[in-house]
Amino acid sequence: MSVWIVVLLPTIDYDAFVKVLAHPAALLPVGLAGLAILGMLWADDTWSARIQGVSPVAKLLVIPLLLFHFQRSKRGHWVFLAFLASCSMLAATSWVLYFLPDLTVAAGKPLGVPVRNYIDQTQEFSLCIFALAAVVVGLVAKGRHAMALACTALLLTFFLNMTFVVVARTAVIYIPVLAALFAIKFLSARAAISLLVLGGLASGLIWSTSPYLRWRVERTVHDFKLARDTDIATSNGERLAYWRTSIDVIAKSPIVGHGTGSTKEIFKAAAEGKSGEWANSVRNPHNQILYVSIQWGLIGSIVLLAMWYFHLALFSATTLIGWVGLIVVVQNFLSSMLNSHLFDFHEGWIYVLGVGVAGGYAIRQKADNFYSLGQRSSP
């Protein structure tokens, strides 16, 4: 990204860039990053912690540059093709490790997770599934059945990996919503009902044949009961504790928050005197809105929600690029209710690149449509 920015800057027409920057989709990410920088002034922590608090927000400054560049460039689809290709290689490696568990790519990784972690892998594979679903619909409409069959096979490779090998629980939140959006945007009522019936039958078949999926659901239910009935630290229980702490802290400074980087000391203080996993010190409350509200209060939350809204509004057109941008925003928003995915490195960069590249296309398309309408209305 640094190399790309250095190459891009000399080519910028700054008058045109200012026009792009004035768009809320470009201005609000800058506003959130600016608020993080400003928030260092009232944080009660070391300057090292304050600077560290700016770091996860700084990536948002790239969004205006991407919007500007891909408003002009017609090569944005190569970014998404490269993403699909890399995820395909990742899925292939995951399946190899699943069937040959004695092979080791990286020590300490769960079965079927070659790099990073299973949450990142699930995010990537989910995006590929829904992007490919739209591609399949388009290919079938054009009569390109062989290519549609190949894309369907690749889609099933990702889907079956998530049901038989490894999946993050957060997917349960966003996959049904993305499926509903897909049906609304691309399918007729009859086709949507057929897909629903087929999905139900497929779910039953997968449930009966996937020991991993049954174990994952049973483990989630078990953790929920432990969190409800005991003091044993579970993922669900810890997350609820982080949220309670966050709400109490936000109430003490609801408008401007406690400043950039303040979350580390806040959760460290909350963990003092506790034992076991309850004594773990975290930096974020596993909820993006709470994470922002602790540091920058109501002002920060308004900027964050406005940014998501205007990014969502960019992708109203029923085109493949528009659909890719839409699923990136919706996935990030929903998964950020249980995590801090906008500020996390991997998911955050997926969001920046997805919105920036697809958003540049969307802005150009809307400008072209406006120009075309003007031409048709001329004498």
| Res 376 pLDDT > 60 | no
| Res 104 pLDDT > 80 | no
Considering the domain boundaries, does residue 377 fall inside one?
A: no
| Percentage of the chain lying above the pLDDT 90 cut | 55
Q: What pLDDT was estimated at residue 378?
A: 39
Q: Over the stretch 274-332, which tens digit does the pLDDT of each residue have?
A: 765 666 777 788 999 999 999 999 999 999 999 999 999 999 877 899 999 999 999 99
Considering the domain boundaries, does residue 378 fall inside one?
A: no
Q: How many helical (H) and strand (E) elements, i.e. helices and strands, does the chain have?
A: 16, 0
Give the highest mean pLDDT range of 137-146, 196-205, 268-277.
137-146
Domain shared by 59 and 103, yes or no? no
Domain shared by 44 and 107, yes or no? no
| Res 374 pLDDT > 60 | no
Domain shared by 123 and 34, yes or no? no
Boundary residue ending a domain (196, 230, 264) = 230
167, 216 Cβ separation under 8 angstroms: yes
Considering the domain boundaries, does residue 65 fall inside one?
A: yes
CA distances from 364 to 72, 124, 329 (A): 7, 26, 19
Domain shared by 87 and 226, yes or no? yes
Domain shared by 36 and 104, yes or no? no
Q: Which two tokens stand for residue 144?
A: 């390109």
Domain shared by 48 and 89, yes or no? no
Q: How far is residue 193's CA from residue 187's CA, in Å, rounded to a whole number?
A: 9
Domain shared by 115 and 209, yes or no? yes
Farthest-apart Cα atoms in the chain, separation: 78
Q: Over the stretch 220-238, which tens digit does the pLDDT of each residue have?
A: 776 667 666 666 666 777 7
Considering the domain boundaries, does residue 379 fall inside one?
A: no
Domain shared by 123 and 262, yes or no? no
Q: What is the DSSP letter of 59?
A: G
Boundary residue ending a domain (230, 255, 272) = 230
Domain shared by 366 and 271, yes or no? yes
241 CB neighbour count, 10 Å cutoff = 18
Number of domains in the chain: 2
Q: Band the pLDDT of 370: cuts 50, 70, 90.
A: very low
Considering the domain boundaries, does residue 191 fall inside one?
A: yes
Per-residue pLDDT averaged across 122-126, rounded?
96
Domain shared by 249 and 356, yes or no? yes
Domain shared by 223 and 269, yes or no? no
In 3D, which of 341, 21, 363 has the Cα closest to residue 173?
A: 341
What are the phi and psi torsion angles at 220 (to 5°)? -65, -45
| Percentage of the chain lying above the pLDDT 70 cut | 90
One-letter amino acid at 112 equals G
Boundary residue ending a domain (180, 201, 230) = 230
Q: How far is residue 107's CA from residue 168's CA, in Å, rounded to a whole number?
A: 20
Per-residue pLDDT averaged across 28-55, rounded?
93
Domain range for 139:
77-230
Domain shared by 196 and 338, yes or no? no
- Could you tell me how far CA 205 lies from the centroid of its own chain? 29
